[in-house]
Structure 1
Amino acid sequence: KTAYTPFWQLRSTYWWRSTFPANKAVHVSHRYKPSVGGTSSVSFFYDGQFQGQYAAYKTRYCMDGTFENAVRKAAKDDPDGYPKYFENRIAYILTTGGNWASGNIGTFKLTVDKGDPKNLVSFCGENVRKVGPTTFEMKAQNFYPEHDIDILLLEPSDGGNGG
């Protein structure tokens, strides 16, 4: 059976100029629905196993055993043996934010909402807590971003549970 897949890439960057008062505390809040990149299937699991870009994804998105077991289960539950998910990827640049005077963010809070309880989400972060059926939160004081945030979201392509 031949399957055709589009092969193209789009990168979008959003930026804006901001001026902050010298020697004063400033509250900055970002809240938006980001544009996402994605694929029409899971690119790191096929033929019954993790392969292809798996090692790079595991490092970039900190995929843990719970996330991987959910992907395995979806593949096992599917008659064709493939996890039926759309793959969505979100990248957010934090490291350039370290250019201000003190180099850190006094109070940092990240909330990631996976949108639907059936969706799977994975991203790197310290002390991440699940705070709702679809939301995860990370808080830190005097946070210095050493890397950007990359989020992997798997959404069932069959409208069900990915299997």
Structure 2
Amino acid sequence: MRRVRPGAAASRAGTSGASGGGADRGAQGARGARADGEERVLSSVPAPDAGSGGHGTPEDLPRLWHVTLSVSGREVPLTEVRRGLEQLAHDHPFLLTSRYAGDHAEIRYWEEARDLHDAAAVALRLWGEHRRTAGLPPWEIVGLEVIDRETYHQRVAEGYGPPPAAPVGIQPF
């Protein structure tokens, strides 16, 4: 099954051969009249680094994303929560900080990913995939924030948003 963004199928249908150009025109219309290898440009979205001659960072290069994952559930002993978070931090040293209480916790870390969707997908799997191996409580994810590195540093500089990740480690709320 091929996914198409809303409205794209209708606009392609109108150019695919109804213009009387035959099969060659239909193939060209379906590609949006682009030469082979040429990227499609969306007129409603500014090009990255538009002022620098179009030589932006390739989309496939990973970027750093600051992730805050919040989980919550029924109350469990604090020692169990701390032990589970310590094991998670040992298994995955990328964790910056974890704050916890008997019925909720917050994990903050940097994720390297191609885009926000990839970083969020990894974050949404983190708790569930490591629940058993790290001995984490059977809580559900109740919050997720994923922001790029620039936004994180801008927020910190302006005095709002997540404070810098210090002290590093696992701390009670």
TM-score in same-fold range (> 0.5): no
Instruction: Considering fraction of residues, name the structure with more strand.
Output: 1
Instruction: Considering fraction of residues, name the structure with more helix.
Output: 2
